[in-house]
Homo-oligomer: A and B are copies of this chain.
Amino acid sequence: MTKEKIVAGIDIGGTNVLIGIVNQKGQILNYKRIKTSDYPLPEDLVDKACRLIHESLLELGNDYILNGVGIGAPNGNYYTGTVDFAPNMNWKGVVHLKNLFESRLNTKAVITNDANAAALGEMLFGAAKGMNDFIFITLGTGLGSGIVVDGKLLYGHDGFAGEIGHIILYPDGRECGCGRRGCVETYCSATGLKKTYAELKLQRDSNYHIESFKLEAKSLYDLALKGDDIASLTFQITGERLGLVLANAVAFSSPEAIFLFGGLMSAGDLILNPVKQSFEKNLLNIYKGKVKLLLSSLNENDAAILGAASLAWNEFND
């Protein structure tokens, strides 16, 4: 009997490493998780991940054959197979993650960053099926983006294309983790939302202490629903800024749709309405009414693994 091909999708984050076995329909057949901090050395982390992949394959039985490994990791580089100076990881310099996985598993591996991987997940298994040109935006602690052009991920010359979160929105604006100022993600993200709220509070009450209030995007959402006008205004302003950023992105690659994904989008219309209004208002006339602004169809819990797996399916689908 022919064995069914499956791939391993691995999402490497600052907190957890997620490992899933995924079939060609995008079903996650097996799922495991380890804590990133338990394996400070990349070699140890890869060893553990590979042992878990073997374990998963044993659990699944003899009907499957591993067709490749897809990896989503911060600053993962498609061309070089490396993770370069990963933010939020304790790794030093350039780590050859693709090689580490390939040599231990004796299969092909492919790597990119998590937002790029999620964009492929939307294309292979989500609402972007059949779309050749779209942009995928992840809104969490920061803002990540994957740009699809002509049915392919836009990697650019060096593999690092698609950093909309680090477009400078306001020169000399808020400090960004990247060392510069005014980046989009310091405004349009859960972190940006909290900063905007604190700024607005301070404008009204100079005694306000951000420390005195354990501020979370979720609690801002609750505050807004309870009628806190500053919380509502925070979502309004954040949405307007994001709408402008997305309209500017359209002037670059003229996508068919933009997908929004991530924790911030659970605020629903509170954030989505101002984004949509600002987006249409700021679009150049030749694009107006043409570009769909959509919520990602990916399940928040599965997206990371599905994205990484999509990368492998997209690459090793022969």
> Which residues from 157 to 176 on chain A have a C-beta closer than 8 Å to any C-beta of chain B?
157-164, 166-168, 171
Q: How big is chain A's contact interface, by range?
A: 35 or more
Contacts of A157 in B (CB 8 A): 132-133, 254-256, 290-291
Q: A84 contacts which chain B residues (CB < 8 A)? A: 286
Whether the Cβ atoms of B244 and A161 lie closer than 8 Å is no
- A70 CB to nearest B CB, Å: 21
Q: Is A154's CB within 8 Å of the partner chain B?
A: yes
Task: Name the one of B75, B179, B286 contacting A160, with C-beta atoms under 8 angstroms.
Answer: B286
Number of copies: 2
Please tell me if the beta carbons of B147 and A252 are within 8 angstroms of each other in the complex. yes
A315 CB, nearest partner CB in chain B, Å: 16
Give the contacts of A243-293 with B (CB-CB under 8 A): 244, 247-249, 251-256, 282, 284-287, 290-291
Cβ-neighbour of A155 out of B147, B178, B254 (below 8 A): B254
In the bound complex, residues from chain B placing their C-beta under 8 Å from that of A254 are 154-163
In the complex the two chains form, what is the Cα distance from A290 to B159 in whole Å?
A: 12
Q: Show 6 A/B contacts (Cβ-Cβ < 8 Å), sorted by A.
A: A149-B150, A154-B253, A156-B255, A161-B252, A162-B252, A164-B252
Could you tell me the distance in whole angstroms from the C-beta of A286 to the nearest C-beta in chain B?
5
Distance (Å) between the CB of A15 and the closest chain B CB?
Answer: 22
Complex Cα spacing A249 to B162, Å:
10
Q: Which residues of B contact A290 (CB under 8 A)?
A: 157-158
Question: Which 8 pairs between the two chains have the least Cβ-Cβ distance?
Answer: A156-B254, A161-B254, A157-B256, A133-B157, A163-B251, A167-B248, A166-B284, A167-B251
Of the candidates B171, B178, B291, which one forms a contact with A285 in the assembled complex, judged by CB atoms under 8 Å apart? B178
**Taking A75-B286, A282-B168 as contacts, is the C-beta distance between A156 and B248 under 8 angstroms?**
no
Q: Does A104 contact B (CB under 8 A)?
A: no
A260 CA / B147 CA spacing, docked (Å): 25
Whether A129 is near chain B, meaning CB under 8 Å from some CB there, is: no
Closest to A252 in B: B252
In the complex, what's the smallest C-beta–C-beta distance from A140 to chain B, in angstroms?
18
Closest to A241 in B: B171
The 0/1 profile, CB within 8 Å of B marked 1, for residues 194-237 of chain A is 00000000000000000000000000000000000000000000
In the bound complex, residues from chain B placing their C-beta under 8 Å from that of A35 are none
A152 within 8 A of B: yes
In the assembled complex, the CB of A4 is this many whole angstroms from the nearest CB of chain B, namely 33
Q: How far is the CB of A282 from chain B (nearest CB, A)?
A: 6
Distance in angstroms from A129 CB to nearest chain B CB is 15
